[in-house]
Amino acid sequence: MSAELRALISTAPLAHVTTLNVDGGPHVSVVWIGTDGDDIVSAHMMRNQKVRNLTRDPRAVLSMQAPPQPGVFLAEHAVVYAHARVTEGGAWDLLDALAKLYVAPDSTFPAPKRDGGYIIRYAIERVAGVGAWAAGGD
Amino acid sequence: MSAELRALISTAPLAHVTTLNVDGGPHVSVVWIGTDGDDIVSAHMMRNQKVRNLTRDPRAVLSMQAPPQPGVFLAEHAVVYAHARVTEGGAWDLLDALAKLYVAPDSTFPAPKRDGGYIIRYAIERVAGVGAWAAGGD
- Tell me the β-bridge partners of B130: B77
Contact A28 B48 (CB under 8 A): no
Residue A29 to residue B81: CA distance in whole angstroms? 11
- Contact list, A110 vs chain B (CB under 8 Å): 73
The enclosing domain of B8 has a CATH number of: 2.30.110.10
Q: Write the pLDDT tens digit of every residue in A39-66.
A: 999 999 999 999 999 999 999 999 999 8
Q: Write the pLDDT tens digit of every residue in A93-123.
A: 999 999 999 888 998 988 899 999 999 999 9
**B116 falls within a domain:** yes
**A119 falls within a domain:** yes
Residue B118 to residue A137: CA distance in whole angstroms? 17
Confidence check: pLDDT of A138 > 80? no
Q: What's the number of CA atoms in the CB half-sphere (13 Å) around residue B123? A: 6
- Contact list, B134 vs chain A (CB under 8 Å): none
User: What letters, b where the CB count within 10 A reaches 16 and e where it falls short, cover A112-123?
Assistant: eeeeebbbbbbe
In a mutational test of the A interface, the residue from B19, B21, B29, B73 whose CB has the highest number of chain A CBs within 10 Å is B29
Q: Write the pLDDT tens digit of every residue in B45-99.
A: 999 999 999 999 999 999 999 876 666 666 688 999 999 999 999 999 999 999 9
Q: Write the pLDDT tens digit of every residue in B31-45.
A: 999 999 999 999 999
Phi, psi of B8 (to 5 degrees): -60, -45
**A136 falls within a domain:** no
B99 CA: distance to closest CA in chain A (Å): 9
The pLDDT-based confidence of B28 (bands split at 50, 70, 90) is very high
pLDDT at B64: 95
Confidence check: pLDDT of B137 > 50? no
B76 CA: distance to closest CA in chain A (Å): 10
Task: Give the nearest partner residue to B24 out of A24, A49, A73, using CB atoms.
Answer: A24
**A138 falls within a domain:** no
Q: At a CB cut-off of 8 Å and minimum separation 6, what does B101 contact?
A: B10, B12, B32, B34
- How many distinct structural domains can be found in chain A? 1
Q: Are strands A77-88 and A59-65 parallel, antiparallel or unpaired?
A: antiparallel
Q: Where are the beta strands (DSSP E) in chain A?
A: 15-20, 26-31, 34-36, 39-44, 59-65, 77-88, 118-130
Interface of A with B in 90-109 (CB under 8 A): 102-104
Residue B58 to residue B53: CA distance in whole angstroms? 8
Average pLDDT on B110-117 reads: 91
User: For residues A117 and A63, is the Cβ–Cβ distance under 8 A?
Assistant: no
A37 CA: distance to closest CA in chain B (Å): 24
Residue A74 to residue B32: CA distance in whole angstroms? 9
**A68 falls within a domain:** yes
Contact A29 B138 (CB under 8 A): yes
> Alpha-carbon Rg of chain B, whole angstroms?
15
User: For residues B24 and A20, is the Cβ–Cβ distance under 8 A?
Assistant: yes
Average pLDDT on B13-24 reads: 96
Phi, psi of B3 (to 5 degrees): -60, -35
Residue A89 to residue A80: CA distance in whole angstroms? 25
Phi, psi of B76 (to 5 degrees): -60, 145
**Domain range for A31:** 3-130
Largest interatomic CA distance in chain A: 45
Flag whether the pTM goes above 0.80: yes
Residue A49 to residue B82: CA distance in whole angstroms? 18
Contact A20 B24 (CB under 8 A): yes
The pLDDT-based confidence of A28 (bands split at 50, 70, 90) is very high
Confidence check: pLDDT of A68 > 80? no
Q: Write the pLDDT tens digit of every residue in B117-126.
A: 999 999 999 9
Contact B27 A61 (CB under 8 A): yes
**A137 falls within a domain:** no
Task: Give the nearest partner residue to B26 out of A18, A65, A137, using CB atoms.
Answer: A18
Please return the burial class of A29, using the count of CB atoms within 10 Å of its CB with bins 0-12, 13-18 and 19+: buried
**B135 falls within a domain:** no
The pLDDT-based confidence of A129 (bands split at 50, 70, 90) is confident
**A135 falls within a domain:** no
